[in-house]
Structure 1
Amino acid sequence: MKRGFIFPTLLTAVMLAVLIGLGTWQLQRRIWKADLIAQLEAAQRLPLLTPADYFRAMTGEISVQYRRAELPCTPGKVLPYDLKGGSSAKDVSGYLVLVSCGPAGKSPDIVAVAGWTRRPDAAQVPIDVDTTFTGLIIERPYGDAPGRPQFMLIPDTAVPPLTPSRLPSPADLPDNHLSYAGQWFGLAIVLAVIYGIWLRRRLRWETVAAAPSAS
């Protein structure tokens, strides 16, 4: 192969390998996402969480995402722990009012959503949370932020005057990996076509250039 063909051919080969690899990775991610959704759907049918389950989750031994749990909360009137953006059961945007059911002043391992509100100042309004929350567990609602709760319980009900918040569903997880894979494979096809057109023209030019001129 002549020197003028080597670099474009190697560059095209590398780019094709990358594009095909990305497309294949997205197909693998789609299989992983389907398995994850199935696991989360099955988690909701498991027995209620026990203290041992929480401990195993905190040590990273198991995941309790979307498991059902109960959380007794009897501190009387308290200020909310925090507000987080979220939706009501009727899918209206607003704020989730989080409360801590542990000792006052102690950083909680778990918080509960007392309910949903449209009021951005709800964190300054005391509420009476003398109840037992029952609902779904969300792991790491604050990511890896230090000193933040590792679990958040989203109950089926709400503390008046708040209204119920929207329960999460495994179906909410985006599953667009097939379209992404199609995009990467499509780019690979386009690149191969462009290279084929370039190669054909280059070979034609080389042939014309090498032909003896008429006397």
Structure 2
Amino acid sequence: MTEPAPPSTRRWPLVPTIIVLVAVAVMIALGVWQLQRKNEKEALIALFQRNTAMSATVAYPELPPVADAFLYRKSSVVCLEPVRWDPRSGTDREGMAGIRMIADCRTGAEGPGVLVDVGISDDFAPPKWSGGTVQGTIVPGPEQPTVMERAMGKGAPARAMLIANAPVAGLRASAVPSADDTPNNHFAYAVQWFLFAAAALVIYILAVRRRWRP
């Protein structure tokens, strides 16, 4: 007569459980970090809003990186000569689409130049403009490092750009970005990380319980 098989012991698998718990802890930490970034971004947007409301001018920051205290402030530069044109899509202050004419200007015999958005055109032909004094608003330049480049320390420092108050002859005034347009999706990212953590934990528990079924 054969003896009955001993009852199976139900034990949590140690190594997989540790791996899952570590992964869940990392996802929760990322969610908390996104909430912290949300508060930082809200403070940054508030700073930009205060800068927009200021009427006093500041010296144009020619050297990157540009401090946040300069963005959305009023300033002026002297463009001795536009050495390169960088046409990009954009809109004028009436909301009509067109081509932004961005000039990379020489400001001296040596040293860095400045980027100036001199207006909106209907085509890619650069305007007949040889330079001069430009008054406008400092905004982030068109070439900004990506999140991955910033995280890896490989992104070049971002340059600022001056959007001219008055466009050059033949162009329409470019729309000035609003401080409220600064992206702040960190709360949504935090919720996603928390949901990922909860989902991973639930899926793992269900998988272990399924393994225990006779």
Could you say which TM-score interval applies, normalised by the shorter chain?
0.7 to 0.9
Written as runs of structure 1 = structure 2, the 5 A alignment for 1:1-215 is 5-46=13-54, 47-50=56-59, 54=61, 58=63, 62-63=67-68, 64-72=70-78, 81-88=84-91, 89-99=93-103, 100=105, 102=107, 108-120=112-124, 122-123=125-126, 125-127=127-129, 129-130=131-132, 132-139=133-140, 141-143=142-144, 150-202=159-211, 204-205=212-213
Determine if contact 1:158/1:164 at 8 Å carries over to the other structure.
yes
- Report the identity percentage: 27
Q: Distance in 2 between matches of 1:106 and 1:92?
A: 37
Q: Distance in 2 between matches of 1:32 and 1:107?
A: 33
Q: Structure 2: 5+ residue runs without aligned partners?
A: 1-8, 146-154
**Runs of 4+ displaced beyond 6 Å:** 1-4
TM-score using structure 1 length: 0.72
Determine if contact 1:65/1:139 at 8 Å carries over to the other structure.
yes
Q: More helix per residue: 1 or 2?
A: 1
Report the residue type matching 1:126 in the other structure.
K
Question: CA 1:37–1:186 in 2, change beyond 3 Å: closer, same or farther?
Answer: same
Report the residue type matching 2:89 in the other structure.
G
Q: CA deviation at 1:140?
A: 5.0
Query: Aligned residue pairs: how many?
Result: 193
Aligned to 1:213: none
Q: CA RMSD in A?
A: 3.3
Q: Structure 1: 5+ residue runs without aligned partners?
A: 209-215
Question: CA 1:66–1:32 in 2, change beyond 3 Å: closer, same or farther?
Answer: same
Q: CA deviation at 1:186?
A: 1.0
Q: CA deviation at 1:191?
A: 1.4
Does the residue aligned with 1:199 lie in a helix, a strand or coil?
A: helix
Does the residue aligned with 1:48 lie in a helix, a strand or coil?
A: coil
Question: CA 1:102–1:170 in 2, change beyond 3 Å: closer, same or farther?
Answer: same
Deviations 1:96-115 (A, max 9, x none): 22332635x76652232211
Determine if contact 2:138/2:160 at 8 Å carries over to the other structure.
yes
Deviations 1:125-151 (A, max 9, x none): 423655x432211355445898x9944
